[in-house]
Chain A
Amino acid sequence: MATIELDHVTKVYPNKNQAVSELSLDVADGEFMVLVGPSGCGKTTALRMVAGLEEISGGTVRIGGRVVNDLTPKERDVAMVFQNYALYPHMTVGENIGFSLKLRHLDKAEINRRVQEAGQTLGLESMLNVKPASLSGGQRQRVAMGRALVREPAAFLMDEPLSNLDAKLRVQMRAEVSRIQRRLGVATLYVTHDQTEAMTMGDRVAVLAHGVLQQCEPPQTLYDHPANLFVAAFIGSPAMNIYQGEMEADGGEMAVRLGDHRIVIPPSQQEARPALGGYRGRQLAVGIRPEHLAVGHELPDNPSIIPAEIDLLESLGAEVIVHFRIKADHIRPEGAVPEGEDQTMPLTIGAGVSDKTAPGVARVDPRVQLKVGETVTLVPDTDHLQFFDLETGAAISS
């Protein structure tokens, strides 16, 4: 039982590549901290520095208040679960789980007892005498977990432990890993690129980009109040729609222009973000989540409606994901949306689309009758608009 503290931790590789920059992060005792970011953002490097598998170039790492910078992995008393499980192929499941205890010269009966207990927790009792080669992916993942939890370590480190599982098993193991972690109450640092895992498992989520910490908050706070454009675009699936807008310079009513469209900013927003006033006559980024866009055919009595053309409809049963295009400038922070997971369509779809159109996504009730290619009206819930500075990318939150 201990805390993990990273204090201005930096990793510079010999080729001058800076993988992690001044990362400061406190994982409280018993807390489940998720480190999330796109591939290559330095999250795994950070984890490996805590484990002692990677040298720390700068800053300090403390586990349970003890500086561990110069300690070997053995002396740090942490357990780690690897992405490819890294089970010892020449040992049985029981021997795999008990290996760390054997290295610490615990007596046989005690090792046996703890291995049995871990086996029971993970539903592996019947497999303790088989070799990992004959196990399924899910079972191997459990063995890897068992190897970590049998130790009763000061901290758990997990490096994308679920990414090799198929989708269904991943959902199941997600819940199981959370359950086990909560029961053991050990400080956990969990690395993933999957933001669903981050949102569902973490007590707090730290978003990392290019080796720099962007924001570290509980999942809901992260979702509702992203600190900058990167977090806004990275957290949430489908991703937040972000467009370039211009605050209208004059008039008492505050409004933002997105291309040809004018959106009135309600007083509640102006109160919450007094700094918005300073952007009058200037460009900024405006974001809105897919669930805060109503899609319809009629023209409601609302000053802030946006006509849009439907590109694609994805029916998920409980909801429909509507991909549309509007006349506006699109903003997509680099690297925030992993390749292949980009929810937006290529620009070539649909003839006669001008080059000034931007893609967007809305999630709507399946009872709304929509057809691909038709023009609809979007009504944004302006209370949920987000604003970001274009130069710094920071949220305009005060």
Chain B
Amino acid sequence: MASTPASTKLSAAVAAPVAAAPRVRRWRTWRGRRRLGGQVLFYLGVLVVLLIALFPFYWILRTSLESNAEFVQGVGSTNGLVPAHLTLSSYIDDFTQLHFLTPLLNSAIVAFGTTVVTIVVASLAGYALARLPIRGGGAILTFVLLAGFFPVLAMVGPLFLLYRDLGLLDNIYPLIITYLVYTLPLSTWLLRNFFAQIPKELEEAALVDGASRLQTLRKVVIPVSIPAVFTAGILSFILAWNDFAFALSFLDSPSKFTAPLAIVVFGQSQFETYFNRIDAAVVVITIPIAILVLIAQRRIVSGLTAGSLKG
């Protein structure tokens, strides 16, 4: 017992130089210097990539905060990386004069609608493909994946004719069906692959515990697959939210426009192009996506770590 304090003191004395050694050595030795140099280069590289990636975003944000008069003058000595006068006038114009709220709502309806239908249908289809002994399941899966890569513009023409005959043009709800053409294959494929990895015993345990097949899917399989469900949801949402080609082709009245379509119209004056208003609208439509990705990121990480179950 008496020797305990002495031995801890000794171990502390031994431990201290060992811990300090690498820090001292880093710039004194060749190897340490080379490693330090490598790290500096690495972070410089990261910085360059970040600048290239973020600069367009920054420039959009910067332009959106400029007054129209200053924008017309262009970038000058007083008006550089940061505008001379920051103003929210283009945002106010967007929502007051140009009624940007309506296209935003239209986009939200279409994007949420697409996401919800995609998740429901793709989980059911993905689960069936993952678990049922379907003849030619592999072929179905390959076809599903191929369908997801069908060129968008090749689809516009036929669908336009179809919607015209069915009287579905100039209506935002048929857009949801259109987007499903692209979101369903990808999501079905993604979810099927995730479901196939879930141990079968987990579902069997739920069945024995008294769950129906559908309850098993809803209460066990999907909660366990949250990372995949969120990924599929985000991809679907972004695809619908960002679409321009289908909206441009199928919508006619400004009151039916989705946000990307409306933004194009903002700039169309007979004499001027209001880039600051366009950029303000772009900032606005980027925010939901950014928030969504940030929320989902946390969910995806926590979902993955909670997955382990075998001892």
Contact = CB atoms under 8 A, between A and B. Distances in A.
A74 B207 contact: yes
A82 B224 CA distance: 18
A129 interface: no
Contact of B224 (A85, A88, A104): A88
B29 to A, nearest CB: 42
**Residue of B205, B211, B309 ringed by the most chain A CB atoms within 10 A:** B205
Contacts of A99: 206, 209, 219
Contact of B205 (A86, A131, A133, A141): A86
A90 B224 CA distance: 6
Contacts of B209: 79, 99-100, 103, 147, 151
Interface string B206-223: 111111100100011001
Interface of B: 199, 201-202, 204-212, 215, 219-220, 223-224, 226, 305-311
Interface in A45-83: 51-53, 72-74, 78-80, 82-83
A89 B220 CA distance: 9
A106 B206 CA distance: 17
A132 to B, nearest CB: 6
Given A87-B309, A137-B311, A74 B210 contact: yes
A164 interface: yes
A84 interface: yes
A86 B199 contact: yes
Interface residues of B: mostly helix, strand, loop or mixed? Answer: helix
Interface string A132-159: 1100110011000001000100000100
Interface in A11-64: 51-53
A387 to B, nearest CB: 44
B202 A88 contact: yes
A259 B185 CA distance: 72
Contact of B201 (A86, A90, A147, A157): A86
Interface of A: 51-53, 72-74, 78-80, 82-90, 99-100, 103-104, 131-133, 136-137, 140-141, 147, 151, 157, 164-165
**Residue of B208, B209, B219, B305 ringed by the most chain A CB atoms within 10 A:** B208
Nearest to B201: A86
Given A133-B306, A141-B311, A82 B207 contact: no
B201 A73 contact: no
Nearest to B308: A133
A161 B219 CA distance: 24
Contacts of A100: 209-210
Given A88-B224, A90-B306, A103 B311 contact: no
Given A74-B211, A88-B220, 16 more contacts: A51-B208, A73-B207, A73-B208, A74-B208, A80-B204, A83-B201, A86-B309, A87-B205, A87-B309, A88-B202, A88-B205, A89-B309, A99-B219, A103-B215, A104-B210, A136-B311
